[in-house]
Amino acid sequence: MYLVQLLLPLYDNEDHPFGPESYAPVRRLLTERFGGLTTYSRAPAAGLWKEGEQTVRDDLVVYEVMTEELDRGWWAAYREELRVAFRQEALVVRAQAVDVL
- DSSP E strand boundaries for 1-101: 2-9, 38-51, 54-67, 92-97
Contact 63, 27 (CB under 8 A): yes
- Is the pLDDT at 67 greater than 60, yes or no? yes
Q: Are 39 and 62 in contact (CB under 8 A)?
A: yes
Selected residue with higher pLDDT from 58 and 46: 58
pTM higher than 0.85 for the full model? no
Fold assignment, 2-97: Alpha-Beta Plaits (3.30.70)
Q: What percent of the chain has pLDDT over 70?
A: 83
- Mean pLDDT, rounded, of the chain: 87
> Has residue 43 got a pLDDT over 60?
no
Burial per residue of 42-70, b for 16 or more beta-carbon CB atoms within 10 angstroms, e otherwise: eeeeeeeeeeeeeeeebebbebebebeee
